[in-house]
């Protein structure tokens, strides 16, 4: 059966592809999605890894017009409101892949098993510092960070990076403005678990948007749900494996792939690999707070570190740009204040304020707006059914 792999150029997918190619006499088929918007595109990294490994590589650069063609399909693909905006490029890479192969391997699960997310290590370090700062002071810092325009912060970071020279120069993390706003939110944390929840959350205070809304409790909110006798990083990895991985990542990939009749397989989630990873002592799996050390050592045998070492970016779509461009009319129809008031699920004034601030570039409310939009699109599809 024809077999390929999704390749982002990161540690996880590169490790999968490297092992596939090492066992194949013919070039492995690899597939990548790229973006023209700065701060989102990883296609160049994937192409470099593919070239080094000798795969047969195919890429698609996604535009807002691609997104506009996909959004009407999302309610039927996911069956219920699902607001991870990377669902769009996930569907497009699945569609691209299915034109060439029937089964694709993916690197999903590597982050949760081998400590790939910065938040696993950042949370305890940040909390040790934050909890010593009076709440009133933290509130003022948060207000100052939220007063920054994300686009202006990105521009300043780019200027600083271009002015930085010498051996100490480093690649600037993408979307620094959004990261500063996230930092403003975490300043309000009241516990280490609360801090982790804020780092995990794309939407803060949903009750300010949803009328009579109340968030149900999750393991993220319940200290007793966190496994005992583990380091914090291990606890967080376990919680993510039980929640974020199946309800977001795997749902997103499986629904998108099955919509185009593509089978996906996640080698990291083979039970032998999962059991092996969880038998490893933390000192070996997560030495000195460094991420994916074992996978990096494995990958060193196949790919130069220079092709892999860079700030983690994640598989994100430039929804913030698209909502100000080709998706604007579609979104405005679903978010019209009169429509929201008639339906009665959302605070029309609050949503209108978010929309207006996003359109001017004053704030980046892509996650909040996309969550509302996915509910609205789903509701419209149900009424038309």
**Predicted confidence pLDDT, tens digits, the chain (385 residues):** 789 999 999 999 999 999 999 999 999 999 999 999 877 888 999 999 999 999 999 999 999 999 999 999 999 999 999 999 999 999 999 999 999 999 999 999 999 999 999 999 999 999 998 888 888 888 888 777 766 666 655 555 555 555 554 444 445 455 566 677 667 777 888 889 888 988 888 887 888 899 987 778 888 878 888 888 899 999 999 999 999 999 999 999 999 999 999 999 999 999 999 999 999 999 999 888 788 999 999 999 999 999 988 777 667 899 999 999 999 999 999 999 999 999 999 999 999 999 999 999 888 899 999 999 999 999 999 998 7
The confidence score (pLDDT) of residue 213 equals: 78
**Residue (of 277, 229, 5) closest to 116 by Cα position:** 277
DSSP H helical segments within 99-223, as ranges? 110-114, 119-130, 135-147, 150-163, 176-186, 192-200
Name which of 106, 51, 150 is nearest 365 in CA terms: 150
Three-state SS for 243?
coil
List the structure tokens of 111: 């982050």
pTM for this entry:
0.88
* Pairwise CA distance, residues 350 & 205, whole Å: 12
Please say whether the beta carbons of 121 and 83 come within 8 A. Answer: no
Beta strand pairing status for 263-265 and 29-35?
Answer: unpaired
Q: Which residues on adjacent β-strands are paired with residue 30?
A: 5, 57
> What does the pLDDT read at residue 152?
58
Tokens 């990076």, residue? 161
Residues of the chain with CATH 3.40.50.620: 3-115+239-307
**Which whole-number Å values give the CA distances from 58 to 16, 21, 107, 150, 258, in the listed order?**
17, 16, 17, 33, 20
The residues, any chain, with a CB within 8 Å of residue 120's CB and separated by 6 or more, are 232, 233, 236, 237, 286, 291
Contacts of residue 203, Cβ cutoff 8 Å, sequence gap at least 6: 209, 367, 368, 371
**Pairwise CA distance, residues 249 & 79, whole Å:** 16
User: What Cα–Cα distance (Å) separates residue 379 from each residue in 217, 340, 363?
Assistant: 24, 11, 27
Question: Under DSSP, is residue 6 helix (H, G, I), strand (E, B) or coil?
Answer: strand
pLDDT at 374: 98
Q: Which of 214, 207, 216 is nearest to 347 (CA)?
A: 207
Task: Identify the H or E element spanning 104.
Answer: strand 103-105
CA angle 320, 322, 323 (to 5 degrees): 70
pLDDT at res. 167: 42
CATH topology of domain 3-115+239-307: Rossmann fold (3.40.50)
pLDDT of residue 149: 65
Backbone angles phi, psi at 25, to 5 degrees: -75, -25
339 Cβ contact list (under 8 Å, min separation 6): 333
Q: Which pLDDT value is given to residue 215?
A: 79
**pLDDT at residue 166, rounded to an integer:** 47
CA distance 263 to 139: 48
How many CB atoms are located within 10 Å of the residue 254 CB? 18
What are 193's two structure tokens?
A: 């678990």
Ramachandran quadrant class, 316 (left: phi over 0; alpha: psi -120 to 50; beta: rest): beta
User: Which H or E run includes 35?
Assistant: strand 29-35
Q: Are 53 and 302 in contact (CB under 8 A)?
A: yes
């Amino acid at each position: 059966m024809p077999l390929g792999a999704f390749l982002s150029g990161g540690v996880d997918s590169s490790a999968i592809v490297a092992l596939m190619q090492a066992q194949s006499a013919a070039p492995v088929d690899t597939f990548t999605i790229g973006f023209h918007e700065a701060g989102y595109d990883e296609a160049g990294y994937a192409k470099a890894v593919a070239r080094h490994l000798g795969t047969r590589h195919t890429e698609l650069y996604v535009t807002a017009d691609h997104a506009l063609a996909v959004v009407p399909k999302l309610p039927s693909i996911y069956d219920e409101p699902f607001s991870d905006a990377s669902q769009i490029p996930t569907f497009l890479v699945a569609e691209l892949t299915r034109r060439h192969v029937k089964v694709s391997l993916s690197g999903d699960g590597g982050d949760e098993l081998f400590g790939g997310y910065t938040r696993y290590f950042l949370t305890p370090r940040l909390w040790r510092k934050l909890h010593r700062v009076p709440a009133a002071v933290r509130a003022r810092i948060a207000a100052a960070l939220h007063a920054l325009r994300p686009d202006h912060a990105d521009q300043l970071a780019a200027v600083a990076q271009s002015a930085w020279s010498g051996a100490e120069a480093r690649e600037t993390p993408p979307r620094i403005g959004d990261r500063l706003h996230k930092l403003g939110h975490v300043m309000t944390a009241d516990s280490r678990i609360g801090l982790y929840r804020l780092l995990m959350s794309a939407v803060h205070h949903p009750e300010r948007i949803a009328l009579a809304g109340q968030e149900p409790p999750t393991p993220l909110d319940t200290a007793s749900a966190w496994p005992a006798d583990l380091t914090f990083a291990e606890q967080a990895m376990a919680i993510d494996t039980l929640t974020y991985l199946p309800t977001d990542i795997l749902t997103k990939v499986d629904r998108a792939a099955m919509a185009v009749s593509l089978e996906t397989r996640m080698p990291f989630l083979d039970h032998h690999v999962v059991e092996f990873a969880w038998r490893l002592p933390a000192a070996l799996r997560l030495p000195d707070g460094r991420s994916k050390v074992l996978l990096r050592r494995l990958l060193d045998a196949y790919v130069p570190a220079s092709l892999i070492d860079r700030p983690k970016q994640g598989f994100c779509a430039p929804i913030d740009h698209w909502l100000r461009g080709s998706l604007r009319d579609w979104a405005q129809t679903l978010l019209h204040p009169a429509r929201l008031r008639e339906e009665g699920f959302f605070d029309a004034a609050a949503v209108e304020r978010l929309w207006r601030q996003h359109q001017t570039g004053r704030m980046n409310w892509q996650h909040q707006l996309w969550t509302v939009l996915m509910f609205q699109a789903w509701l419209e599809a149900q009424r038309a059914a």
